Structure 1
Amino acid sequence: MTENSSSNQVSPLSFVIRLPGSPIGPDLSKHFLINKNHKEYDIFSNSKGHHNHLIHHYLAAYAFGASKERLQTIFDDHASHQRPLRDPIGTITFETYQSELGNRDAYTSYLIFFQKDIKKHGIIGAIRRGVLQNMDMLARTLSGIFHPLIHLGYAIEFDLPNVAAEGLAMAACEDNALAAFLVDKDTQADGHDNMNGNQTIETILTNMKWDPIFDDIVKFGDEYFSMGIFTNEKVISIIREYAAQWHYKDPQSSVRELYTQVMLLCASTGIHGQQTKMDFFLMHCLTSIHAAHTLLAHLTSDEAEKLLRAHLVETLLFYLRCGRPNLNVEALQNFKPTTAVATCVQGENNDNLWLGVIQQSLGVKEPHYIKVVRALALGQILYHDVFEDDLWLKAAQVAFNVVETQSMKEGEQWWDYGGIGFEQGWN
């Protein structure tokens, strides 16, 4: 990194997964295809605000040892539907920084601004100034279904200043609806003790599951309208109360708790008899907690708490959005992949079943799956002792079961958008 860390720094396990095999690297800062994406393509692939996933998929595959040919294929597949980088709409300075917040047309202008800021203050310094000292920008960084945060995670993991500028510029162009849910302890007269509760995340989710106050807020069939929970005053008040119940301990133990619960939310909620699904939004909670973990090694204790509490808030919102499904740990423990999927992910050598999962993730065209596998693999290495069974591997097998079986059905989507917590969605 280009900036020394604060003396008040926490030291969570800063482990990253990097497998041999790729002929590229290790210095990616001057890599042709990464720079080509940076110079030629917008971060938003269309006018609706869909995100450019090229770098995510490319770097995830690189980290798993993808061949040069596979990396080129990934690049070409994504590049085929990206928008060209547009001209700046004007010059943004520190004084005019807020003038175009939330405007996706200003992406290039913000990109130039953050490139200059990173050159002056370093990647971490720019993130600290642009995100962690500004609750409005923190909200925007977790907006867009966590994509700016995920982008910043890749920038830090691979030490790519231009990718960091992309992530910060993307955040500046997102909405700040999450800000209404966040509490900044630095501005609270009562200080930290007033906002630190005594409940675990598991207890909070259980209480939300059975709280009748949520029964009429999101209903089955509302998939295109349920994002309105972000601006619902009733939801804002209730979710703030639930989030404040979390007993935050310290960065290492708290990210461990959040990472583990997010894995269960993503993987155990979508097993229904012989059917498997994964909620699109809960899946992003998982890939983004991987990114948050990557950031933690560079943050102060207060900054780490601010980031993890904000992540929990959005996770609770997405749990509400998909119908408050059951966390079915027993179903995950007993999960058996379909015969075809089991053959793919286990391979001929069963000494390490992760090898089959990782190998298959490299060949899957869908860009989110490999990120899910990376997040789960990291979780298995760091937090394998949380469960007696290897639930992290089971979760990866569930994800592949979803991607593989759905890809066999013409016209089907890989991820579920309709609300896996609603019984009607399984009929």
Structure 2
Amino acid sequence: MATTKVLLSPEHPGLGRLDPSPPGTLELTSELLQKNHEKYHMYFRDVAGHNHIPHSLLTVLAMGGGRKELNRAYDDGYVIQRPLAPADREVVKKLGDAERFKEHMYTLTEYSNFLAFFEQEIDAKGWKAVLNKYCFSRTPFADTMLSQLYEGLYHPIIHLGFGVEFDQPSLVAEGLAHAASHDSSQIEPFFLETEKLAKSSSVKPKPLVGLYAEIRANQKIREAAWLKDGPLRGQGVLKRAHDELVQIAAQFQVKPEDLERGTAEMISCGALTSAAQKAGKTRKIDFFYLHIVTCSIFFSALNQQDWLKIEDKVRLLEWKGRLDLVWYAANGAAEMKSENVLGYEPSLSKGWDWRAIYKESNEIHDDGHVVKFMRALKHGEDVVEPHVKQEGAASFPVHGDMWLKIAQICYDSTATIERDPPGQLSKKWVWGAGFEPPWFQIPDLKSAV
């Protein structure tokens, strides 16, 4: 099937790009993506274990990486992956029926079956038509699939976003299969309830940055965030402060004519979570908050799609901004002070510009989180700054030099940590910026070198 063939094109170079790719890198990236598509499962473990190989490869490519950096990205990812199990053809035949499809959803071991099914669908109808049918047709089934894209700390929509950005049917099929097979944390009721409330005209829209402040100021929401929930903390806070989160999140509303501005607002406010630091501690980026940032770039890619209706683009954006607020709450609603960024004095990255950040980040041993964060920040700068110049900075809390400063914080705090121990939390990040215990292991500022 043509869908299973990976073939990158210079016509889709990727967002946030500064320089052309070196000769031969499109071909190498296609080869490595093909290998991942044929050999590896989407989940390398049952809980919070997503395959990041395509994310890492395509980001390194967009950031100008060469053959060495691309091979580094692949080698850092493949060693932990599970082999892709063969699809059950009898099951795949039945997935065309919506009721049978739903019977197999939310089960990680069904990934291979969903992948084979969506490959067939895309081969027959094209990936754009398939996305419109399964995610944007406004049926209850499509709403379920759309909400599933946001599951797992945004991972399915990140994966799908790469497929859209680089025009790769194989990645779109993987992203849809990812969404269908991912376990549910019940965010669909939250999305639909906030949407209904927003359309009722009983709550007025407010700037997103103010809604972040409301989340932090709400005592019930803060107390609903439990560190012991681990990777399921989003589900936990939705259970314990559901009504309060719905009421606040429904106030993020975007008019179709304000799509680009709303996207910039979401990107800038999401990046502000990078300023969630702890007084007296060396600067670290929070692992959960960084996904708010790394996911944001793909909403620009989706906005560029002429086959996607404006009302669906608006819906995608509103759901993203509303879920960002949930994840901000779930991680303790950490205090975010812009001076944590503005006053930062770079160490390893002192004097660097974006090209230096890109080059050096591409060489860090990592599973793709560092480079994704860097590219999303540079893209954020490109998208947000024109709006800041037009309307002032009130709704765009991250602006100006802050984009590069946040990137420097990320580089300086991750570059010297070469490899993470298998099965352990990465030392590159702080794992819960709004809670006290995760900061215990972070060095004090006075002892930092």
Partner of 1:146: 154
Q: What's the counterpart of residue 320 of structure 2?
A: 311
> How many angstroms apart in 2 are the aligned matches of 1:331 and 1:368?
21
The structural deviation recorded for 1:414 is 1.3
Q: 1:27 to 1:153 in 2, by over 3 A?
A: farther
How far apart are residue 247 of structure 1 and its match? Answer: 3.5
Which residue number corresponds to residue 93 of structure 1?
Answer: 95
Give 1:422's aligned residue. Answer: 435
Deviation at 1:329, TM superposition (A): 1.1
Equivalent position to 1:399, from 402, 407, 410:
410
* Counterpart mapping for 1:9-408 below 5 A: 16-17=16-17, 19-24=19-24, 31-48=30-47, 50-89=49-88, 90-91=91-92, 92-95=94-97, 96-133=100-137, 134-176=142-184, 177-183=186-192, 192=199, 194=201, 197-219=204-226, 223=230, 226-229=233-236, 232=239, 234-249=240-255, 250-265=258-273, 267-270=274-277, 272-298=279-305, 299-338=308-347, 341-343=348-350, 346=351, 353-366=353-366, 367-385=368-386, 386=388, 389-404=400-415
On the 8 A contact 2:198/2:253 being kept in 1, the answer is no
Query: Contact (CA 8 Å) 1:178, 1:230: kept in 2 or not?
Result: no
* Alignment RMSD: 2.8
Task: Call closer, same or farther: CA 1:381–1:271 in 2, change over 3 Å.
Answer: farther
Distance 2:225 2:279 in 1: 21
SS of match in other structure, 1:194: coil
Contact 1:326 / 1:421 at 8 angstroms: preserved in 2? yes
- On the 8 A contact 2:289/2:328 being kept in 1, the answer is yes
CA spacing shift, 1:180–1:15, aligned 2, 3 Å: same
* Cα distance per residue 1:355-397 (max 9 Å; x no partner): 1111111101112000001101111122225356311111111
In the TM superposition, what whole-angstrom CA distance separates every residue of 1:85-125 from its partner, at most 9, and x where no partner exists? Answer: 10123224321322211111111111111112222332222
AA paired with 2:209?
A: E
Contact 1:384–1:392 at 8 Å: present in 2 too?
no
Amino acid at match of 1:354: W
Task: Tell me the distance in 2 between the aligned counterparts of 1:80 and 1:195.
Answer: 52
Deviations 1:265-321 (A, max 9, x none): 1x2112634511222111111111112221122232211121112112221121111
- Tell me what 2:447 maps to: none
Q: Is the 8 A contact 1:195 1:244 kept in 2?
A: no
How far apart are residue 77 of structure 1 and its match? 2.7
Cα contact 2:118–2:177 (8 A) shared by 1: yes
Q: Residues of 1 paired with 2:85 and 2:277: CA distance?
A: 40
Q: TM-score, with normalisation over the residues of structure 1?
A: 0.85
Counterpart contact for 1:259–1:286, Cα < 8 Å: yes
User: What amino acid is aligned across from residue 316 of structure 2 in structure 1?
Assistant: L
d(CA) in 2 for partners of 1:208 and 1:257?
17
- Larger mean Cα displacement after TM superposition, 221-230 or 84-93: 221-230
- Alpha-carbon distance between aligned partners in 1 of 2:314 and 2:193, rounded to the nearest angstrom: 10
The answer to whether the Cα contact below 8 Å between 1:270 and 1:276 also exists between their aligned partners in 2 is: yes
Aligned partners of 2:287 and 2:429 also within 8 Å: yes
Alpha-carbon distance change, 46 to 191 in structure 1, aligned in 2, over 3 angstroms: closer
**Is the Cα contact below 8 Å between 1:152 and 1:163 reproduced in 2?**
yes
The alpha carbon displacement at 1:148 in A equals 0.8
Change (3 A) 1:224 1:62: closer
Which stretch of the first structure deviates more once superposed, 44-53 or 253-262?
A: 44-53
Q: Aligned partners of 2:128 and 2:39: how far apart in 1?
A: 25
The change in CA–CA distance for 1:101 and 1:230 in structure 2 (over 3 A counts) is farther
The whole-number CA distance in structure 1 between the counterparts of 2:227 and 2:26 is 48
Distance in 1 (CA, whole Å) between partners of 2:35 and 2:420 is 34
Contact 2:41 2:82 in 1 (8 A): yes
Measure, in 2, the Cα distance between the counterparts of 1:215 and 1:199: 21
Which range is displaced more, 285-294 or 216-225?
Answer: 216-225
Unaligned 5+ segments in structure 2 are 3-13, 394-398, 441-449
What number of residue pairs does the alignment pair up? Answer: 400
Cα distance in 2 for residues equivalent to 1:145 and 1:212: 24
Q: 2-side partners of 1:425 and 1:380: how far apart?
A: 29
State the 1:48 CA deviation.
3.3
Contact persistence 1:148–1:171 (CA under 8 A): yes
For the Cα contact (< 8 Å) 2:250–2:322, is it kept in 1? no
Cα distance, 1:237 vs structure 2: 2.0
Cα distance in 1 for residues equivalent to 2:222 and 2:119: 46
Distance 1:355 1:82 in 2: 31
**Runs of 5+ in structure 1 lacking a partner?**
3-13, 348-352
Shift of 1:331: 2.0
| One-letter identity of the residue aligned with 1:260 | S
